[in-house]
Structure 1
Amino acid sequence: MNFRQIEFDRELIERCQTNAPRYTSYPTADRFSLDFGVNQQLSQMKQVFTPEFNQAVSLYIHIPFCNTLCLYCGCNKIITNNRAKITEYLEYLAKEFALYHQLIGKKLPVIQLHFGGGSPSWLSISEVQQVMNLVREYFILENAEEIAMELDPRHVTDEFMSALYQEGFNRVSLGVQDFDPVVQKAVNRIQPLADTQRVLDQAAKLGFKSTSIDLIYGLPLQTLASYRQTMDIVINQLKPARIALFNYAHLPHIFMPQTRINEADLPSANEKLNILQMCVERLAEAGYVLIGMDHFARPDDELAIALSEQTLQRNFQGYSTFADTNMLAFGVSSIGFVGNSYYQSAKDLDSYYNFLNADQLPILRGLLLSPDDVLRREIIQQIMCQFELNYAAVAEKYQLDFANYFAAELAELPELAKIGLITLTPSGFQVSNKGRFLIRNVAKVFDRYLRANQDNRRYSKVI
C-alpha cells in the first residue's frame, strides 16, 4: 500500500457512518469489571514482575487538574485553582509509586513516560520536578526514548518549557481545537494564537524531537470557512510534526459539561463532512501522511516511519511506537496494562486516597484477558496499525483453523470488499487507502463483545 496516498471517499464515508470503539485497547475499557479488582491485579503483577524480569516498561501518570472547564472535554478532570489540592495529590502519588516499588522489588528501566490529564502543564515547575524526582527514585529513566507531556499553551511559559527539557522531556502535545474566537467562546476555551506559537517556537529552539497539535472538528459555531482559516494557520504557520484531527463526540448523557453546549449551534452532519474533507485535502497537499483514522504526521516523523515499516502500534495514548510493553499507570482513573490484564485506578479522588491510606494500590476494576481476547486483540491491532490481516500467520501462531474459528466474521468481509473498504486476497485482506478513515468499521467485525451486543451508542461516530 502507498501510505503517502490519501483518498477521501465522501460517498463511502456517508454510507458507512456508525458508532464504534477507537480500539486503544481490546477489550475496550467499558468491558472492565469491578469483579477484577486490586487482589486479582496484584496476582497478575506478581506473575509478570518476577525477580528475573528486567524488561523496559512504559509509565503513564495522570494529572487530573485544570484551571478552566472546556465544555467539549470528556476527560477525567478536576477544575481547581486551589494549589493545595495539587500538593495533596502529589503526596498520594508518592505513596502509589512506593507501593509499586514494594511490589516489583527493584528499579525497572523505562522506555516511554507520558503525562496526561486534565492539564499536566497546570503543575508548577517545582511540582514537575517533584514528580520527575519520584519517577527517578523508583525507575531508571536514562534510556527512555520518549518522555512526553500534554500541554495547555495558555499557562505554559518559556521557563516551564526549559524546565521540561532539562528534565528530559522530548515530546509535547498541545491542545488547540480551533483558533476561531467565536468557537473558543462557545466551548469556554479562549486561547490566543500567540500562546500556541510561543510554545511551539520554544520547543523548536530547545530541541524537542516532536510536537503534536490536537484539533477538533464539529464544535459549536464552526463553519467550513472559519475552520479553513484554522487549518491555514496550523499548516502554514505552526507546522507541527503530528496532527490529531478529532471528530467532536457530543455525548451529553455521558459527559455532563456538554449539556451546556447548545446543540442548535453544532454544525450539521453535511457541514462536518465538508470541514473534514477540506482538512484532509489541505493536509495531503502539505505532505502530511495519514497514519490512521484521524492522525497525521510529517513523513520524517517516527509515526510515519513506523507506519511504512509496519511497526506501528496502538495504546491508550493512540498511535505509538512503544505500545508493545507493560504499562504501569499512576494517578486517579489511569489505565494500565500488565501481562494479559488491564486495570484502572479509582475514578474519584476520595476513593483513590482511601485505597492509598489503606496501603493498597488504588485499583478499582480491570479485566483478565481470555485466550480469545488475546487472539482478537492481536487481530484488531494488526487491522488498526498494519491495515491488513494474514489469516495463515494468525492460524499458525495460535494453532487454530482460522476459517472455522472466524466463520461468522469472514462471512461479513465480502460486503466490506464490495463497498471498497478492503480488498480480499488469497491469504487475507488489505484495507484500502480510502478505508483507512473507516478502519474502526473493519476492526469491529472481530470484536466479540460487540457481536454479542450490538448496542454501540456508548461509542463515538467513526467520522
Structure 2
Amino acid sequence: MSQPLITKYNVAGPRYTSYPTVPYWNLESFSLANWKASLQRAFKESNATEGLSLYIHLPFCESLCTFCGCHKRITKRHSVESPYIQAVLKEWSLYLALLETKPIIKELHLGGGTPTFFSAENLNILISGLLENAELAEGYEFSFEGHPNNTTEAHLQTLYDLGFRRVSYGVQDYNLSIQKAINRIQPFENVKRATDLARNIGYTSVGHDIIFGLPFQTEADVIETIEKTKALMPDRIAFYSYAHVPWIKGNGQRGFSEADLPTPASKRQQYETGKQHFEAAGYVEIGMDHFALKSDSLYKAMENKTLHRNFMGYTASKTQAMIGLGVSSISDSWYGFAQNVKSNTEYYRLLEQDIIPVFKGHILNTEDLIIRKHILNLMCNFETAWTDDALVFKELPEVLIKLKEFESDGLLQFGSKHVVVTEKGKAFIRNICMAFDLLLQRKKPETQLFSMTI
C-alpha cells in the first residue's frame, strides 16, 4: 500500500456497525414509545420467517484492559452476579409482554465485559430464564466471549448443554511487554487450554480475537502471535485494528502515550503482513477485519452473500430484529435503534418501575434506510447497486463525485448504477462508506468522534 494513499485516507471515521452512527442519532425525535412501535413492527414482519437475535451485555471485569473500548465495570465482588442476572431477566420479561407472541430465537450472544466473570451456575440461570418463554429457530447459533484465563470446563460444558456451539477468546497479542502495556497478561498455555477444552467438549467454531496497532507492537510481534495462533488453528479470527479513543473512554486508554503507538504506515503494514500469513495458513478474509476457515459458517455466509453486520460486528445470520439486554446494550429493529442506560444503578431503578431501560435512540427515516442498505452492502459484500427510484436522496450527484475519486485511486470500479470495491480498495472500505454518509457530510464533527481509518 502506497504511503500517499495512507496519508490521504487516514482520517477519523466510523466502523459502521450501524447507520446512522450513534453520534448522529436524532435524539429529539426519539421516544421509548416510538422505539416500542418500531420493534413491534419488525417483530411482526420477521419473527416467523427470520427469528430474533438477542445480545446480552455482561459488563463486569476483575481488571481493566487498557485497549478496551467497551462498556465495563471493574470489580472483584462476585456478589454482583445474581442481582444483575435477575435484572436482565426482568428486562426480557418486559420485552416479552411487548411482543405478545412467543419469540423465535435465531441468534444469542453473550458479550461484555467478561461473560466468564459469571459462574457457570449463574450463566445457566440466565440462559435458561431467557429461553423459558421462547422457541428456537432452525439452525440457531449461540455464542459467547470467553477470557482464556478464567474460562473453565464448567463454563464450556454448561453453555454447550444449553445449545452454545461457538466461543471466541480474546488473545490480542502474545508479547509480554505489550500485554503489560494493555494490562492483559495471558500466556499462550492458557489460550491453548481454553481452545482445547472447547473442542474436546464439541464446540464447532472456536475463534480468537487478535489486535494490531497496539502500543509498542511491531510487525515481528504480529507475526509471532500469528505463528502461535496457527498452532491452534481457530476456526475464525477477528483481526481488529486498535481503536485509540481516549477522549471517549477516559483514563482507560491513557495507560500509555500516543507516541507508543505504531505509525499509520506501520500499523497498516501489520495488517497486510497478518493477512498474508493468515491466507497462507488457509484462512479467507471476511469483510474488513475477519478471517475464517472455509469450514466455518462465516465463510459460508460470505459465499452465499448472507453475511450481516450489526453492533456485534460480522455475523453469519441476519435477523431484522435484535434486542440488546443489559446495561449499555443497543437494540436494532432495522427501523430504529435504542440504547440502554449505562449506569447499573439507573438500570435497576428503571426496571423496578417496569420501564424498559432505554435512554437514547434513533428512528430511521426513508433516506436513512436507503443509505443504511448501501453501507451494509459495501461492508459485507464490497459492492452495492441502485436504481433511479431506490436512491432518492438529492445529494446523489455529490456522492458519485466522491466515489469517482476512489475510482481514480484504483479503490473501486464503476458500473452504470453500481460500484464494486477492488482488492486494493478493501483496506479503505470505511472511507468509501463515508462517501454515502450524508449525516457526517452535512455536519462535520467539531471534535474527533471516531478512531482513525488506517
C-alpha displacement of 1:162:
1.4
Partner of 1:374: 369
Partner of 1:250: 244
1:174 to 149, 152, 169: 169
Partner of 1:408: 398
Cα pair 1:387 1:431 within 8 Å, conserved: yes
Where in structure 2 are there 5+ consecutive unaligned residues?
none
Partner of 1:4: none
Letter in 1 for 2:126: V
Partner of 2:188: 193
- Secondary structure (helix, strand or coil) at the match of 1:343 reads strand
Alpha-carbon distance change, 37 to 401 in structure 1, aligned in 2, over 3 angstroms: closer
Letter in 1 for 2:21: T
Percent of pairs with identical residues: 36
C-alpha displacement of 1:16:
2.1
Cα pair 1:333 1:347 within 8 Å, conserved: yes
Partner of 1:26: 19
Query: Which one is further off, 273-282 or 340-349?
Result: 273-282
C-alpha displacement of 1:53:
5.8
Partner of 2:448: 457
Letter in 2 for 1:407: P
Partner of 1:440: 430
Distance in 2 between the 1:96 and 1:280 partners? 41
C-alpha displacement of 1:34:
4.1
- Secondary structure (helix, strand or coil) at the match of 1:446 reads coil
The Cα offsets for residues 345-399 of structure 1, whole Å up to 9 and x where unpaired, read as 111111111110111100111111000000111111111112112223xx45x3x
- Secondary structure (helix, strand or coil) at the match of 1:260 reads coil
Distance in 2 between the 1:177 and 1:50 partners? 40
TM value normalised by structure 2 = 0.94
Partner of 1:346: 341
Partner of 1:221: 216
Cα pair 1:294 1:437 within 8 Å, conserved: no
- Secondary structure (helix, strand or coil) at the match of 1:121 reads helix
Letter in 2 for 1:361: I
Letter in 1 for 2:246: P
C-alpha displacement of 1:327:
0.5
The Cα offsets for residues 416-437 of structure 1, whole Å up to 9 and x where unpaired, read as 1010110112332210011112
1:91 to 86, 107, 120: 86
1:16 to 5, 9, 17: 9
Where in structure 1 are there 5+ consecutive unaligned residues?
1-7
Distance in 1 between the 2:84 and 2:159 partners? 20
C-alpha displacement of 1:11:
5.6
C-alpha displacement of 1:127:
0.7
1:305-316 correspondence to structure 2 within 5 Å: 305-316=300-311
Cα pair 2:306 2:317 within 8 Å, conserved: no
1:276 to 262, 268, 271: 271
Cα pair 2:214 2:262 within 8 Å, conserved: yes
C-alpha displacement of 1:202:
1.6
Distance in 1 between the 2:335 and 2:430 partners? 23
Number of aligned positions between the proteins: 450
TM value normalised by structure 1 = 0.92
**Backbone CA RMSD of aligned residues:** 2.0
Distance in 1 between the 2:325 and 2:372 partners? 24
Distance in 1 between the 2:293 and 2:40 partners? 41
1:61 to 28, 51, 56: 56
**1:267 lines up with 2:257 in the alignment:** no
Partner of 1:337: 332
Partner of 2:318: 323
Distance in 1 between the 2:26 and 2:8 partners? 34
C-alpha displacement of 1:15:
3.6
Distance in 1 between the 2:206 and 2:41 partners? 37
Query: Which one is further off, 309-318 or 183-192?
Result: 309-318
C-alpha displacement of 1:167:
1.2
1:141-152 correspondence to structure 2 within 5 Å: 141=136, 143=138, 145-152=140-147
The Cα offsets for residues 6-44 of structure 1, whole Å up to 9 and x where unpaired, read as xx6666444422221111111112223443232332233
Cα pair 2:144 2:168 within 8 Å, conserved: yes
Distance in 1 between the 2:412 and 2:304 partners? 20
Partner of 2:380: 385
- Secondary structure (helix, strand or coil) at the match of 1:305 reads helix
Alpha-carbon distance change, 15 to 298 in structure 1, aligned in 2, over 3 angstroms: farther
Distance in 1 between the 2:426 and 2:420 partners? 10
Distance in 1 between the 2:392 and 2:94 partners? 44
The Cα offsets for residues 27-74 of structure 1, whole Å up to 9 and x where unpaired, read as 112223443232332233344445996341111111001111101111
Distance in 2 between the 1:11 and 1:83 partners? 51
Query: Which one is further off, 24-33 or 125-134?
Result: 24-33
Letter in 2 for 1:332: V
1:77 to 72, 76, 80: 72
Distance in 2 between the 1:122 and 1:432 partners? 42
Cα pair 1:221 1:265 within 8 Å, conserved: yes
Distance in 2 between the 1:53 and 1:250 partners? 38
Partner of 1:40: 34
Cα pair 2:306 2:318 within 8 Å, conserved: no
